[in-house]
Amino acid sequence: MPKWPWTQRSFRFDFPPSKWPDLLERVRGTPARLEERVGALSREVLIRRPENGWSIQENVGHLIDLGYLPLRRIEQILAGESTLIAADMSNRKTQEAGHNDRDIRDLLAEFRADRAKLVTRFESLQEADWERAAMHPRLQQPMCIVDIAYFDAEHDDYHLGRIGELIRRWT
């Protein structure tokens, strides 16, 4: 379904560390945007799968499944590790999670709670921490903590885009 798959995207990590407040607002706002987009949809629309892709609920669940990744990467950078943990590009956790068996309200609440932890962690950083970096394993380029905020916001928007495509198709 996506015309530009996530795994084919490249990124320029060139934001100055001072950009973090703007990027943090994108990260902070995703739960509200997600709730607004999917909160009133019928269960039928929420769990309907396209021929090649995830349902709306599976997209939401995928964001939950990867919620650990930015937190772990922040801790790796702060600990001075040189290479960040790689994401499971097979998305096995999402494939096996059974997100369509859950209630959307529970998924949204879990995502909001997980995202609040990430926002709190970002807010606890010192100014100098935002420019600390380690190598992103798939992209093969250094990623600063400010880039983690950007990357996570971009990933959120990517899945909100997929959700929007499904809403337009089935409502």
**Do residues 32 and 156 lie in contact, with contact meaning Cβ atoms separated by under 8 Å?**
no
Does residue 162 lie within any of the structural domains? yes
Angstrom distance (rounded) from CA 46 to CA 122: 31
Residue 1, pLDDT above cutoff 80: no
Does residue 54 lie within any of the structural domains? yes
Does residue 42 lie within any of the structural domains? yes
Does residue 16 lie within any of the structural domains? no
Helix (H) or strand (E) holding 144: strand 141-144
Does residue 4 lie within any of the structural domains? no
Number of domains in the chain: 1
Query: For residue 65, which of 102, 33, 40, 36 has the smallest C-alpha distance?
Result: 102
Average pLDDT over residues 48-69: 96
pLDDT value, residue 2? 54
Does residue 161 lie within any of the structural domains? yes
pLDDT value, residue 20? 96
Phi-psi region of 53 (alpha: psi -120 to 50; beta: other; left: phi over 0): left
Angstrom distance (rounded) from CA 134 to CA 76: 8
Does residue 1 lie within any of the structural domains? no
9 residue type, one letter: R
Angstrom distance (rounded) from CA 14 to CA 104: 36
pLDDT tens digits, 60-88: 999 999 999 999 999 999 999 999 999 98
Handedness of CA 80, 92, 139, 159 (dihedral sign): negative
Domain that holds residue 42: 21-170
Phi-psi region of 91 (alpha: psi -120 to 50; beta: other; left: phi over 0): left
Average pLDDT over residues 39-62: 96
Does residue 122 lie within any of the structural domains? yes
The CATH code of the domain that includes 75 is: 1.20.120.450
Residue 155: φ, ψ to 5°: -65, -40
